Amino acid sequence: AQSVTQLGSHVSVSEGALVLLRCNYSSSVPPYLFWYVQYPNQGLQLLLKYTSAATLVKGINGFEAEFKKSETSFHLTKPSAHMRDAAEYFCAVSAGYSSASKIIFGSGTRLSIRP
């Protein structure tokens, strides 16, 4: 079984500051890991994904995440926050590659950006 835990339901940073959103996973098989972003009243948009190729994954909008097996973590970072980054962020895990593989989402972290 797979699960993800996102530490911190709400993170607030100043514009220009480092963004760090934490995610820890649990998986009985090598996981595929994802970060999605959701803007108000919208569906989810993929930021980046880890598929066992490279441990440091770069995504859209300047975000990146590092897979650390020893820590079972996949934290999301961005060096300098922008106001437009304010949104809900979800970490997710999948066990397989087939089209029927379920993706399980974490509880989400709301990112607020202070001017």
Residue 106 found at the interface with another protein (CB under 8 A)? yes
Contact status: 22 vs another protein (CB under 8 A) = no
DSSP bridge partners of 83: none
Q: How far apart are CA 35 and CA 72, in angstroms?
A: 15
Shortest distance, CB of residue 12 to another protein, whole angstroms?
Answer: 15
**Which are the contacts of 112, defined by CB distance < 8 A and separation ≥ 6?**
10, 11, 12, 13, 86
Binding-residue pattern over the window 41 to 70 for another protein, x denoting contact by CB under 8 A: xxxxxx--x-xxx-----------------
Continuous segment of H or E residues that includes residue 56: strand 56-58
Q: What is the DSSP letter of 30?
A: P
- Cβ closer to another protein: 85 or 89? 89
Contacts with another protein by CB under 8 A lie at 32, 34, 36, 41-46, 49, 51-53, 90, 94, 97-108, 110
